Amino acid sequence: MAGEDPDETRRQFGEAVNMTAGELERWLAGEESQAVGQKGDDGGESTGHASGRRIVELLRTRKDDLTDDDLAHMRKVHGYVQRHLAQEPKGEDVETSRWRYSLMNWGHDPLKKG
């Protein structure tokens, strides 16, 4: 998006994504990760799972090598995480919830400290 500050985009992405590339990669390989999210008509990979794979790539990309498309995806990730955090289920254990698993596909573990 024209007028978007790349430094601000990277900062917001860094706030939203609290998992390392390795943590996210391991998570995406598991069954829980693949069981959640909105899938296309073919029943294949969910949008969030595909985004997670892209996030792993972004985390491993030097800031000077980020493209406009990369920055756009980083903004999308930040927006998704913020919206989804606001939908936290009340009064239930979130540790094994679809809500948490979906967020983790987008690189954010709400139970991770620090």
Give the number of domains in the chain: 1
Question: Which 8-state DSSP code applies to residue 59?
Answer: H
Q: Look at residue 21 and tell me if it is in a domain.
A: yes
Residue 68 corresponds to which tokens in the numbers above? 């406009």
Residues spanned by the domain of 49: 6-36+43-105
* pLDDT tens-digit map of 19-49: 999 999 999 999 999 888 777 667 678 888 9
What pLDDT score does 16 carry?
98
Q: Look at residue 75 and tell me if it is in a domain.
A: yes
Q: Look at residue 101 and tell me if it is in a domain.
A: yes
What pLDDT score does 114 carry?
64
What pLDDT score does 1 carry?
46
* 15 within 8 A of 68, measured Cβ to Cβ: no
CB atoms within 10 A of CB 109: 16
Q: Look at residue 52 and tell me if it is in a domain.
A: yes
Beta-bridged to residue 39, according to DSSP, are 46
Q: Look at residue 65 and tell me if it is in a domain.
A: yes
Q: Look at residue 85 and tell me if it is in a domain.
A: yes
* pLDDT tens-digit map of 48-81: 899 999 999 999 999 999 999 999 999 999 999 9
This prediction has a pTM of 0.90
